[in-house]
Chains A and B, each alone.
Chain A
Amino acid sequence: MDYQAHRETFERTKLAKEVLANCNLCPRQCGVNRTTGEKGYCGLDDTVRCFREMLYCGEENELNPSHQIHFAGCNLRCEFCVVSEWNEKPTAAEKIDFDKMVKRIQDRQSQGARTLNFLGGEPAVNLHGILELLGRIKPEIKVVWNSNMYYNDIIDKLTTGLIDVYLADFKCGNNKCAEGMLSASDYMEIVKENILKAAKHADVIIRHVIMPGHSRCCLKPIFEWVVDKLPDVKLSLRDNYVPPVQVVSASAGYLTQKEMQNAVGLAESMGLNLIK
C-alpha cells in the first residue's frame, strides 16, 4: 500500500459514501440512493456485510496464505456462481463491525496471512466499507483486490495506491457468452479497460476459470488479448469450475484433465506468463 494513498483513505471513504446517494459505482448505473436504504442491482443499501472470512491457501501461490474477506453483494449474476445465495440476498449476511474486523485482520496477520484479500460477492459494490477498513489498518499489509473488474472508473481512482495486487477474474472472452452466463452484455469492453488501468499502477494477476466447452469462444480470445495488450502479466488458469445445478447457458459438466492440459498447452505455446 502506498503511504500517501493510505493517508487519503478518510477523504476517499467520504467520496465513496457520497457516490452511494446516486449509486453509479458499476456499469449497472442504478442511480439509487443507497444511503436512504434503496437497493439497486447488487441488492445492497449502504451497509457493509461480510458472509465469510478465512485464512486460505487455495489462491495463487504468491498470495498464500491469504486472509479472505468475503463481502456480500455482486453486480454480476454468474449462472455458475458458487456463492450466489449471498449475492441474491446480501442483506442476509451480517453487518461488518469495523473494530472487530480490524482486530481480525491483525489476528490473521499473526497467524501467517501474507495477503489481505477482498472478494465477494464483489468488492467494488462495497467500496466505501473497504476504504474504511484500509484506513484503519497498517499500510504495510499487502492488499489484494479480488474482483470481476466490472465497475466504473471511480473504483480505479479511489483504490489507486491502496491495492497491491488486482486479481482480475476474467470470465468470458466475448459479450454473447457474458450476456448469457453473467447477464452483462457490455462485459468485455469494461473489464478490458479496467484491467489495463489497474496494470498501470499495481500488479495484476489475470485469473481465468476454464469453462468446459468455451475454449474457442472464451479462453482463446482472452489469451490473444493478453498477448496483445499485457504480454508480461501473470496469468492463472483455474480448473475449479463447478456447474450450476440448473443449467441455462453455462456448461453443464466439469472440466476434464484433457481440457486443462490443452488450455495450459495453448497458453505456453502463446508465450503467456503462467503462474500457479
Chain B
Amino acid sequence: MKKTPYKRKPGDFEIRILKNGKVVMVAPDETLVEIAQQVNPKHGATHNKTEIKENVRSKKGQAE
C-alpha cells in the first residue's frame, strides 16, 4: 500500500466509508446519485424522482 493517499484524476469517483458506517460519495454524477436513491430513498441530497415527475406534470399543466 502506498504511503501517500491516492489523488483523484479527472474521471475518477471517490466513495468514502467512515468509521461510523456513513457512506460519503464525493461529488457524485447522476448515476451514482441514482444508486444512492435506490439504496436509501430517504436520503436528502439524492435524485428525487417524485419531485421531478411532479415538476414535469406542473410544466405540462402550464403549457396546456
Which A residues form the contact surface with B (CB < 8 A)?
51-52, 54-58, 64-65, 82-86, 89, 92-93, 109-114, 240, 242, 245-246, 254
Contact = CB atoms under 8 A, between A and B. Distances in A.
A189 to B, nearest CB: 29
A251 to B, nearest CB: 15
Contacts, number: 66
B51 A57 contact: yes
Which of the listed residues B5, B29, B46 has the most CB atoms from chain A within 10 Å of its own CB?
B29
Question: Sorted from nearest, which 3 A-B pairs have the closest CB atoms?
Answer: A58-B45, A112-B52, A54-B30
Given A57-B46, A64-B51, A85 B9 contact: yes
Contacts of A56: 30, 33, 47
B26 interface: yes
Contacts of B24: 242, 254
Given A55-B30, A56-B33, A57-B46, A65 B9 contact: no
B32 to A, nearest CB: 10
Interface in B8-64: 8-12, 16, 18, 24, 26-27, 29-30, 33, 44-48, 51-56, 59
- Size band of the interface chain B makes with A: 20 to 34
B38 to A, nearest CB: 14
A84 B52 contact: no
Contact of B10 (A51, A55, A82, A110): A51
Interface of chain A, main secondary structure: loop
Nearest to A91: B10
A57 B26 contact: no
A52 B29 contact: yes
B53 to A, nearest CB: 7
A110 B59 CA distance: 8
Nearest to A246: B5
A51 B27 CA distance: 12
Nearest to A58: B45
A240 B18 CA distance: 14
Nearest to A61: B51
Contacts of B8: 84-85
A89 B10 contact: yes
Contacts of A240: 45
A237 B25 CA distance: 19
Given A92-B10, A242-B24, A246-B5, A110 B48 contact: no
Given A242-B26, A254-B18, A57 B5 contact: no
Given A110-B56, A240-B45, A82 B12 contact: no
A65 B52 CA distance: 6
Contact of B55 (A54, A65, A254): A65
Contacts of A245: 5-7
Nearest to B50: A57
A144 B39 CA distance: 30
A54 B33 contact: yes
A65 B10 CA distance: 26
Contact of B27 (A82, A112, A113): A82
B48 A57 contact: yes
